[in-house]
Amino acid sequence: MDNFLDLARNRRSRRDFSSRPVEFEKVIEVVRAATYAPNVGDMQPWHFIVVSDSAIKDAVCDHCPHQSWMQNAPVLIVACGSIGKVQDFYDQLADRWLTQTVAAAVQNALLAAEEIGLGACWVSSFDEINLRDLLKIPDGHRPEVVIALGYSSEMPRDKVLLPLDQVIYLNSFGGKVTEMAAVLRDWGEHFRGKKDSFVASQQAQRVDEGEKKSFSDHAQSFFKKAKKPFDKKE
Ligand SMILES: Cc1cc2nc3c(=O)[nH]c(=O)nc-3n(C[C@H](O)[C@H](O)[C@H](O)COP(=O)(O)O)c2cc1C
């Protein structure tokens, strides 16, 4: 896909894999993309166990409750986080930051898979102790996510997203807007104030001129259910 936003929008979890084997280069591409992710302290505290051996794959699936569809995935990638390494530096924050780090890597992997024509699914339903044992994951490391990977003929299903006005708040939790025109004006003024920023002034112009109909349509529907007016600057 040429456009990242299209890629992000069209990505879906794929669970219906064909028997077509996956090229090793593509698996490496997916893992490489995972390693581009933002990560705690740039420690890159991760390892990715690529499982292609069918006996080991079956055993991994056995440790993933209620995920029988995984049996058809030609490749599984077990994303592990180096908890020991992160704990040494970040102590009590390590747990959360490691989880976020590996999640960012996994999302990169899923998008890369989609980009190169593969299907993938994030699986967190696994028995950690058994998986650790099976794959010989040492102390100081822990499995975070299993990625099922393969070619998929599954038709991407339509996705019903929550409306943006239910998921975006302005400035504080629950902050909504009633006066769209005021918001657009203030936003434009804010950008114009930053004369050194070319992108910002472009953005302000767009808002002023209303060139991007889709932007303003979108914004209107975003704010139309507003409950509280946005503070206006005089
Ligand atoms: C933290 C997390 C855990 C998940 N665990 C599983 C899982 O165990 N099995 C599964 O089939 N899908 C799992 N998924 C995939 C979600 O079901 C899927 O992302 C969600 O239904 C949205 O669908 P989409 O990925 O097609 O947009 C998981 C996703 C996340 C982010």
**Tens digits of per-residue pLDDT, 140-198?**
999 999 999 999 987 878 899 998 878 888 888 988 766 667 777 877 877 777 544 44
The pLDDT value given to residue 1: 61
Tell me, using a 6 A CB cutoff, whether residue 121 lines ligand 1: yes
Out of 1.10.580.10, 1.10.150.120, 3.20.20.140, 3.40.109.10, select the CATH number for domain 4-150: 3.40.109.10
Domain ranges of the chain: 4-150, 164-223
Half-sphere exposure of 141 (CA within 13 A, CB side): 18
Query: Which structure tokens are listed for 148?
Result: 């099922």
pLDDT band at 12 (very low <50, low <70, confident <90, very high): very high
Per residue in 200-218, pLDDT tens? 444 444 444 444 444 445 5
The pLDDT value given to residue 165: 78
Global confidence as pTM: 0.82
Q: Which atom, in ligand 1's list, is nearest to the CA of 126?
A: 8
Residue range 18-42: average pLDDT?
A: 97
Q: Output the CA torsion sign for 80, 142, 7, 120.
A: positive
pLDDT over 80 at 81, yes or no: yes
Closest by CA to 49, choosing from 75, 74, 87, is 75
Ligand 1 center to 123 CA (angstroms): 6
Q: Going by C-beta distance under 8 Å and a sequence separation of 6 or more, which residues neighbour residue 120?
A: 13, 14, 30, 109, 110, 113, 114, 147, 148, 149, 150
Distance (Å, rounded) from C-alpha 84 to C-alpha 33?
24
pLDDT over 80 at 100, yes or no: yes
Q: Tokens 């090793």 — which residue?
A: 24
DSSP per-residue codes, 144-207: EEEEEEE-B-PPPPP--PPPHHHH--SSSTT---S-HHHHHHHHHHHHHH-TT-HHHHHHHHHH
Contact by Cβ (8 Å): 77, 113: no
Ligand 1 center to 181 CA (angstroms): 38
Tell me, using a 6 A CB cutoff, whether residue 13 lines ligand 1: yes
Tell me, using a 6 A CB cutoff, whether residue 68 lines ligand 1: no
